[in-house]
Structure 1
Amino acid sequence: MSRRFDGNRLLIATHNAGKLEEMAELFGPRGITVVGAAEMNLSEPEETEDAFIGNARIKARAAVAATGLPALADDSGIEVAALGGAPGVYTADWAETPNGRDFVMAMEKTHDLLEKAEAPQPRFARFCATLVLAWPDGHEEIVEGRVDGHFVWPMRGQTGHGYDPIFQPLGETRTFAEMSHEEKNAISHRADAFKKLMAKCFDG
């Protein structure tokens, strides 16, 4: 049986400002204040799994162990069909540089690999997200979300974060980065997972 979350403050186990902002916008209407890992001075655990659910669990469990608070962790990424699902769980890794993450570089790398593979158009892609809500007693609730679309080039748009400028959801003429936060949050992979989590643990 699913467990209901009855608090009004939730630790989000991420150092990603963009993800934290999305979560704050999603939880805000429900009267839940979110706090990020950086605000709690938490270190980033090493993500050693090869699936989204495994890495989300690592982050959620580390945050609970460090604070004793229930924590929600997300692991997400973009999967490009013509690249065998890459970058997938390595979405953020492709952006790593000695000076931090460079997602423009990562998007250019993805495009270059697609060109090298002579991948036909349209280039199917999907964003995936797994949410793990963990409690101090070891209980966990897990949900998965996704949104299908295409990899487009060149990059378009100035909003969003990560790979948003190259992802055009099915049925849309704009990329995530050309949408407002509200528009993206209505259809995103994280929103899909979030709706499922709300049904399991927050609504009713």
Structure 2
Amino acid sequence: MNLKIHLVTGNNHKVEEIRSLADNELTVVPISDLVGEIEVDEKGDTFLQNALIKVETFRHLGIPLVADDSGLEIDALNGFPGVQSSRFMEGRPYSEKMAEILQRLDGEKNRKARFKCAAVFYHPSGVVLAVEGTVEGSIAYEIRGEQGFGYDPIFVPDGYDRTFGELGQEVKSIISHRARAFKKLFSLLRLFFSNIDTEKHHKSSE
């Protein structure tokens, strides 16, 4: 049983990361393969609302969809950048975004932070599944590492002394917010689709 789901994102890094979390029964395809460049007005107040907005935007296609929204919350900045993580200093490279955040934290001893991810699955039957994943950590005092993407080079997950930018995908695929969210979601998807197959079998046997 091979299941194809279309991921609502224009971020190639995210596509590869989520593909790496899927098993052989799941094929993750970017929605851009069907519709070209995508544009979604992410105006939600939470990560979950933004993920739901993404699937709602393409619900008319009548195919299974998956979307997520995620971001970095920093306690000393009252949760900033939060849902604005990708739109903060929009159009500027993440090296500049990270430098600005480090400047705002200059002299701040409380470096506690977390990455959060909300992931949503939509099925044309009207079924919606939603999960969340979180990884706690702290903000480094400098940008370190060139692996990963986004704010990875300034985030040190709890239990480690290196940033995600230094630890790389091998560790991220186990403990990251996105890994935790999508492992939950993919487990639910296998149950959901196995139930659909069971129902089809029963109906064909009647």
TM bracket, shorter-chain basis: 0.7 to 0.9
Q: Aligned residue pairs: how many?
A: 191
Which of residues 9, 12, 19 is equivalent to 1:14?
9
Cα shift at 1:64: 2.5
Cα shift at 1:107: 0.7
SS state at 2:105 partner:
helix
Paired position in structure 2 for 1:112: 103
Q: Do residues 75 (structure 1) and 66 (structure 2) align?
A: no
Cα shift at 1:17: 1.0
Return the alpha-carbon distance in structure 2 between the equivalents of residues 31 and 202 of structure 1. Answer: 8
Contact 2:21–2:183 (Cα < 8 Å) also in 1: no
Cα shift at 1:76: 0.1
Q: Which runs of 5+ in 2 are unaligned?
A: 195-206
Which of residues 42, 51, 55 is equivalent to 2:50?
55
Return the alpha-carbon distance in structure 1 between the equivalents of residues 31 and 101 of structure 2. Answer: 29
Contact 1:164–1:177 (Cα < 8 Å) also in 2: yes
Cα shift at 1:110: 1.1
Return the alpha-carbon distance in structure 2 between the equivalents of residues 194 and 160 of structure 1. Answer: 17
Return the alpha-carbon distance in structure 2 between the equivalents of residues 95 and 107 of structure 1. Answer: 10
Return the alpha-carbon distance in structure 2 between the equivalents of residues 126 and 74 of structure 1. Answer: 16
Which amino acid counterpart does residue 130 of structure 1 have in structure 2?
Answer: A
Cα shift at 1:42: 4.9
Cα shift at 1:38: 2.4
Cα shift at 1:137: 2.9
Which of residues 119, 122, 125 is equivalent to 2:113?
125
SS state at 2:32 partner:
coil
Q: Deviations over 1:159-178 (max 9, x none)?
A: 10000000000001111111
SS state at 1:49 partner:
coil
Q: Do residues 193 (structure 1) and 181 (structure 2) align?
A: yes
Paired position in structure 2 for 1:176: 164
Q: Deviations over 1:27-52 (max 9, x none)?
A: 1x333221113222152210111110
Return the alpha-carbon distance in structure 1 between the equivalents of residues 98 and 31 of structure 2. Answer: 26
Q: Which has the larger radius of gyration?
A: 2
Contact 1:42–1:63 (Cα < 8 Å) also in 2: no
Paired position in structure 2 for 1:36: 30
Return the alpha-carbon distance in structure 2 between the equivalents of residues 129 and 198 of structure 1. Answer: 14
Return the alpha-carbon distance in structure 1 between the equivalents of residues 189 and 19 of structure 2. Answer: 17
Return the alpha-carbon distance in structure 1 between the equivalents of residues 39 and 82 of structure 2. Answer: 19
Q: What TM-score does the superposition give when structure 1 sets the normalisation length?
A: 0.88
Q: Deviations over 1:117-165 (max 9, x none)?
A: x4214x0000000001011232210000000000002111111000000
SS state at 1:127 partner:
strand
Percent sequence identity over aligned pairs? 39
Return the alpha-carbon distance in structure 1 between the equivalents of residues 2 and 48 of structure 2. Answer: 24
Return the alpha-carbon distance in structure 2 between the equivalents of residues 43 and 141 of structure 1. Answer: 22
Which amino acid counterpart does residue 46 of structure 1 have in structure 2?
Answer: D
Cα shift at 1:7: 5.4
Which amino acid counterpart does residue 18 of structure 1 have in structure 2?
Answer: H
Q: Which runs of 5+ in 1 are unaligned?
A: 1-5
Return the alpha-carbon distance in structure 2 between the equivalents of residues 127 and 11 of structure 1. Answer: 24
Q: Deviations over 1:76-99 (max 9, x none)?
A: 0000000000000000011412xx
Question: Alpha carbons of 1:176 and 1:63: their partners in 2 closer, same or farther (altered >3 Å)?
Answer: same
Which amino acid counterpart does residue 71 of structure 1 have in structure 2?
Answer: L
